[in-house]
């Protein structure tokens, strides 16, 4: 086996772990790093594959510290292909249910697709399902879902409303719950992005509400924090290459996730400002 082949196999193995959310390595026994001999290790310089397939790892001065994972892998390519093939919400739901390119499917109880009126002018998109959502198979249920319902009802929006002008439609970036409600990995978000972007295309909402930092940053293609993103209106356009016309933009507003509000109630008044802005935008359309 040649050295180049060995290096490529190591890089491929590392990419497989990244795609499945593995971001740290643990040993069976503790290692005292201070007691190890100071022997310099000489490693051959490796040049990772170029293109949209790898997540750069900062190593020395030759590698950028910024994360550049773009999700181009077999699973990502398949997700884009399958998402584009869906012509109805029912087809998209079935495709996501059968898609095996995301490991979260193996640890989750139920696939969480959407709730509310798909004809609604407003579409709310959260980060990922939690324990209650995983158990019931619906987004934003339990305590944080009840809080979201109360917030929306204050501006006359309701997920159970049949009137499209008063209704709301709700989904998440991820359709499967990350174990322990951990933050989704960049690879998990990248593979899920084509599905939620096709979901948006099929619903055709007039306004998008991104509820949480993962949803806002992923769908706006931004590295800014949610506290910065929530202060203004944005024009959403698909971030996934090959997912429709980027010229067809949708007004979007970002706000704090209800889970964050339960932990930090003082943020509720900021969300109320966001809801008043949403209400004003609805009246102007």
pLDDT digits (tens, 9 = 90+) for 15-46: 666 555 555 555 556 556 556 555 444 444 44
Give the containing element (helix H, strand E) for 116. Answer: strand 115-116
Which is more confident, 24 or 120? 120
Predicted confidence at residue 243, as pLDDT, reads 80
Predicted confidence at residue 12, as pLDDT, reads 67
Q: Is the pLDDT of residue 233 over 70?
A: yes
How far apart CA 189 and CA 206 sit, in angstroms, is 24
Predicted confidence at residue 20, as pLDDT, reads 53
Predicted confidence at residue 9, as pLDDT, reads 72
Q: What is the pTM of this model?
A: 0.74
Structural contact between residues 167 and 116, judged by C-beta atoms closer than 8 angstroms: yes
- State the average pLDDT over residues 242-258: 85
Q: Is the pLDDT of residue 78 over 80?
A: yes
Q: Is the pLDDT of residue 190 over 60?
A: yes
Q: Is the pLDDT of residue 55 over 50?
A: no
Predicted confidence at residue 222, as pLDDT, reads 95
Q: Please report which confidence band the pLDDT of residue 248 belongs to, taking 50, 70 and 90 as the band edges.
A: confident
For 139-183, write each residue's pLDDT tens digit. Answer: 999 999 999 999 999 999 999 999 999 999 999 999 999 999 999
Best CA proximity match to 201, nearest among 103, 85, 95: 85
Supply the mean pLDDT for the chain. Answer: 84
Predicted confidence at residue 69, as pLDDT, reads 35
How far apart CA 89 and CA 68 sit, in angstroms, is 31
Counting every residue written for the chain, the total comes to 285
Q: Is the pLDDT of residue 56 over 80?
A: no
The two structure tokens encoding residue 263:
């932990």
The domain segmentation of the chain, as residue ranges, is 74-284
Fold adopted by 74-284:
Uracil-DNA Glycosylase, subunit E (3.40.470)
Which is more confident, 52 or 271? 271
Q: 277 — phi, psi (to 5°)?
A: -65, -40
Burial of 47 per CB tally in 10 Å (0-12, 13-18, 19+): exposed
């Amino acid at each position: 086996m040649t050295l180049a082949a060995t290096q490529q196999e190591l890089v491929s193995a590392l990419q497989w772990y990244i795609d499945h959310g593995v971001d740290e390595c643990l040993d069976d026994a503790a290692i005292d790093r201070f007691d190890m001999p100071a022997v310099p290790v000489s490693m051959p310089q490796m040049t990772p594959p170029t293109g949209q397939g790898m997540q750069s790892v900062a190593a020395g001065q030759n590698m950028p510290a910024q994360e550049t994972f773009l999700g181009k892998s077999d699973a990502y390519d398949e997700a884009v292909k399958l998402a584009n093939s869906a012509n109805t919400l029912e087809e998209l739901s079935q495709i996501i249910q059968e898609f095996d390119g995301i490991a979260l499917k193996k640890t989750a109880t139920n696939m969480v697709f959407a709730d509310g009126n798909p004809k609604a002018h407003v579409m709310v998109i959260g980060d990922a399902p939690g324990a209650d959502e995983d158990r019931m198979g619906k987004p934003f249920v339990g305590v944080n879902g009840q809080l979201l319902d109360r917030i929306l009802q204050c501006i006359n929006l309701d997920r159970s409303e049949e009137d499209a002008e008063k209704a709301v439609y709700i989904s998440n970036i991820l359709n499967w719950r990350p174990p322990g409600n951990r933050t989704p990995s960049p690879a998990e978000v990248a593979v899920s992005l084509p599905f939620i972007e096709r979901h948006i295309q099929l619903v055709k909402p007039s306004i998008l509400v991104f509820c949480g930092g993962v949803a806002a940053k992923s769908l706006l293609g931004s590295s800014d924090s949610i506290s910065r993103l929530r202060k203004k209106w944005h024009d959403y356009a698909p971030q996934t290459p090959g997912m429709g016309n980027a010229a067809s933009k949708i007004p979007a507003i970002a706000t704090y996730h209800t889970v964050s509000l339960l932990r930090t109630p003082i943020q509720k008044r900021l969300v109320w400002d966001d809801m008043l802005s949403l209400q004003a935008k609805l009246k102007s359309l």
